[in-house]
Structure 1
Amino acid sequence: MAVKDINEGLNYITYGLYIVTSVDGEKKNGMIVNTVFQVTAEPARMAISVNKQSLTHEMILKSRVFAAMPLEQNTPLPFIGTFGFRTGRTFDKFAKVPYKTGFLGCPVVMEHTLSYMEVEVCQTVDVGTHTLFIGTVKDAGVVQPHGTALTYAYYHDVIKGKTPAGATHI
């Protein structure tokens, strides 16, 4: 089977778009990811997949905490770009974004997000270019109770978003 056929098949898997944040002392960063899922209900555990080249990956490895927030469907492309198209190594992603500091110290974005989950990492799985971070939800809440989650398909088909070269290094 050709790689092209495999990629076409994978395009039918549904994904959401999420902001994932973490901290390293006073430094904070966040990025857009499309792989966030609940693993167990009792205890509440979830997992995320993060590119190893990203600054957020480094911070999660060091601090062992992250927050994940599903984006709302009407999130404007410039806002998505703040977390998805620029690196936190040279740009303060939180300079103009409203957030609160969560229970575990992670930034919880209060604009264009539906809810948040703050997670303490209990296991990591190396999956090649990415790490799967699995953890226990320590705090969660609703930011916007009546929104619709932004899917990856909506992002591409309606917003017409493109993933820029180098976005994996965010």
Structure 2
Amino acid sequence: MSAQDINEGLHYVTYGLYIVTTADEGKQNGLIVNTVFQVTAEPARVAISVNKKSLTHEMITKSRVFAAMPLEQQTPLPFIGIFGFRTGRTFDKLAKVPHKTGFLGCPIVTEHTLSYMEIEVCQTLDVGSHTLFVGEVKDAGVIKPQGTALTYAYYHDVIKGKTPAGATHL
């Protein structure tokens, strides 16, 4: 089986697009991920997958907290670009983005997001280029009660968004 065959098969796995944020030692950062999923209901636990080269990965590893917010389908590409096309190492992604500070200290983005979960990491799993962070939901809420979540397919097919070459370092 070729890598192309594998990638074609994986193309049918569905994903959403999420902003994941964190805070550590007075600094805040976030990025776009396509892997956020609930793993248990009691207690409520979710998992995210984050590239090890990203600043957000470093910060979650140290702080042991993160927030995850599904993006709404009508999110404009320039807004996605703030979290998906630039690195927090040289750019303050939250400087001009409406947000509040959550229960665990993570930024909760209040524009173009549907809801939020603030999570405390309880387990990690090294999966090669990424780390799977599993955590218990400590706070959650609805930001926009009506709306449709942005899927990865909609992002590519309708918005015509691309995956940036430097995405692994955001």
Deviation at 1:25? 1.4
Provide the C-alpha distance between the structure 1 equivalents of 2:30 and 2:164, rounded to a whole number of angstroms.
17
Provide the C-alpha distance between the structure 2 equivalents of 1:4 and 1:154, rounded to a whole number of angstroms.
22
- 1:143 paired to 2:143: yes
Question: Which ranges in structure 2 are unaligned for 5 or more consecutive residues?
Answer: none
- 1:34 paired to 2:34: yes
Provide the C-alpha distance between the structure 2 equivalents of 1:165 and 1:107, rounded to a whole number of angstroms.
26
Cα RMSD, aligned residues only:
0.3
SS of 2:42's partner is coil
SS of 2:161's partner is coil
How many residues are matched? 170
SS of 1:5's partner is helix
- 1:67 paired to 2:67: yes
Question: Which ranges in structure 1 are unaligned for 5 or more consecutive residues?
Answer: none
Match of 1:96 in 2: 96
Q: Residue type of the partner of 2:124?
A: T
Match of 1:153 in 2: 153
SS of 1:159's partner is coil
Q: Residue type of the partner of 1:69?
A: M
> After the TM superposition, which residues 52-131 of structure 1 pair with which residues of structure 2 at under 5 Å, given as runs?
52-131=52-131
Q: Deviations over 1:79-108 (max 9, x none)?
A: 000000000000000111000000000000
TM-score, structure 1 as length reference: 1.00
Q: Residue type of the partner of 1:139?
A: D
Provide the C-alpha distance between the structure 1 equivalents of 2:32 and 2:146, rounded to a whole number of angstroms.
22
- 1:44 paired to 2:28: no
Deviation at 1:141? 0.2
Provide the C-alpha distance between the structure 1 equivalents of 2:147 and 2:110, rounded to a whole number of angstroms.
13
TM-score, structure 2 as length reference: 1.00
Deviation at 1:164? 1.2
Provide the C-alpha distance between the structure 1 equivalents of 2:77 and 2:168, rounded to a whole number of angstroms.
17
SS of 1:28's partner is strand
Deviation at 1:168? 1.0
Would you identify which runs of 4 or more consecutive aligned residues in structure 1 move more than 4 Å?
Answer: none
Q: Residue type of the partner of 2:24?
A: D
Provide the C-alpha distance between the structure 2 equivalents of 1:4 and 1:68, rounded to a whole number of angstroms.
31
